[in-house]
A and B are shown apart, each in its own frame.
Chain A
Amino acid sequence: MGFTRGFSGRPRRQAVDLPPGQYLTEDFPVLTAGPTQHVPTERWEFTVTTETGQVHRWDWPALMAIPAETPTVDLHCVTSWSKIATEWRGVSLDTLLADVETTAEYALISSYGGYTTNLPLEDLIDGKAWIAYQYDGEDLPAEHGGPARLLVPHLYFWKSAKWVRDITLSHSDEPGFWETAGYHNYGDPWREQRYWDT
């Protein structure tokens, strides 16, 4: 491949280190496969289900009662946009999983509305993932996954499931919605793991 005649591109921005094939955006695109879910906090609940079937449950007041963190993270969407230094408020998965007894290696995330995504459990712990309920100082809007979404910014953003409802831990890896529709099972933006090689 040579170059594209007549294409010069924007002025180069060297200041920010982005994963391969990504470009910066200032807006916050909404990308969802189906309708936006509208889940009132009064009937919101979040569960962690272990491989032995044990269920840990939080309702909204319980989530609010847990000390929150305010991570500032970069987002990388598989459709090639990246948004840097986004500010969130939420509860670390380390906190939520602290009392969960498990030897599972994998997690399957389920959302209100039926969306699913999968990842190794180790990608949810050690300060890498949150249940986030505020974005940029405001309550998280429904179209961006509110009242609460998973935030796991070191993977492509489809792993950060909107309207998160349950995390089921398992010894086996079960591909989720996009993972069965041609997208990569793991999705590391720095290794540009966008799609399954087919």
Chain B
Amino acid sequence: MSWRAATIAGVRPETPTARTVALQVPGWPGHEAGQHLDLRLTAEDGYTATRSYSIASVPDGEAVEVTVERLKDGEVSTYLTDGASAGDQVEVRGPVGGWFVWRPRQTEPVLLVGGGSGVVPLMSVVRRHRETGSQAPLRLLYSVRDPDAILYRDELAALDKDGVDIGYVFTRQAPEGWPRPPGRLDAPLLIATAFSPDLAPTSYACGPTRFVEDVADLLVIAGHDPRRLRTERFGPSGGNP
């Protein structure tokens, strides 16, 4: 798998600390929902830095989008969230990862559980699911610090209005009138949201390590087949494997 020259086609803010970066990648071979890519920056003196980012967009020719959350002291994320602008040159390698993916031929129920920026590859699944007119039941449970930190807020609100099953967990501050006080995703809420294990759903969890550990452990305890549970942990150095 080789590096391809790519151009930043545009950037748009998602939250005060996150941006979606649209890339134009000539020769991009296409990808599956849930996959990620490696992105490489080169400084003037030849120094390079590479990081992995989940793909947020559905397959669309040479156009690929990633959504990046600014990390404290993040060498690459800071450039992408604060510096990058249309026309900048970067390099891209991918797509990467053949496990944390959802394919349109899957007909079983799909549970998506995202924590923070862990929602990014899940958004790719939501979009792909919709674009292909999939009849597979799908639920998204999105744990987020506060309403201002919601990625893809308007799009998710529109999808919600349109009948897509989307639930939120606010960990620090909930919107006014929200029925559940702020707090971490707990077992009762997760179990109430998850499909019954009898339906043999495939469940995807992506987010910070602790969050994913908790979600995965709870689902296994609730009787879900560990082999139908796909996880991706986002650390400062996240990605697969």
Question: Which residues in A have some Cβ–Cβ distance to B below 8 Å?
Answer: 1-10, 12, 21, 23, 25, 27, 29-36, 77-81, 113-114, 143, 158, 177-178, 180-183, 194-198
User: How many Å lie between the Cα of A196 and that of B2 in the bound state?
Assistant: 10
In the complex, are the beta carbons of B83 and A6 less than 8 A apart?
Answer: yes
B124 within 8 A of A: no
Tell me, rounded to whole Å, the shortest Cβ–Cβ distance linking A159 to chain B: 10
- In the assembled complex, the Cα of A180 lies from the Cα of B241 at a distance in Å of 12
Chain B interface, DSSP helix/strand/loop, else mixed: mixed
Bound together, the chains give a CA A194 to CA B93 distance in angstroms of 11
Contacts of B237 in A (CB 8 A): 25, 27, 29, 77, 79-81
Cβ A78 vs Cβ B241 within 8 A = yes
Assembly CA distance A4 to B90 (angstroms): 6
Given A4-B88, A6-B83, are A79 and B52 neighbors across the interface (CB < 8 Å)?
yes
Which residues of B are interface residues toward A (Cβ below 8 A)? 1-3, 5, 38, 40-44, 46-52, 75, 79, 83-85, 87-91, 93, 96-100, 209, 213, 216-217, 219-220, 226-227, 229-231, 233, 235-241
Contacts of A181 in B (CB 8 A): 97-99
Q: Of A9, A143, A196, which is within 8 A of B1 by CB?
A: A196
Supply 8 further A-B pairs (C-beta < 8 A) apart from A4-B90, A35-B219, A195-B1. A3-B42, A3-B44, A5-B88, A29-B237, A31-B239, A32-B241, A34-B227, A182-B96
User: For A35, what are the chain B residues with a Cβ–Cβ distance below 8 Å?
Assistant: 216-217, 219-220, 226, 229, 231
With known contacts A27-B237, A195-B1, A9–B96 Cβ distance under 8 A: no
> Across the interface, do A29 and B83 meet the contact criterion of CB distance under 8 Å?
no
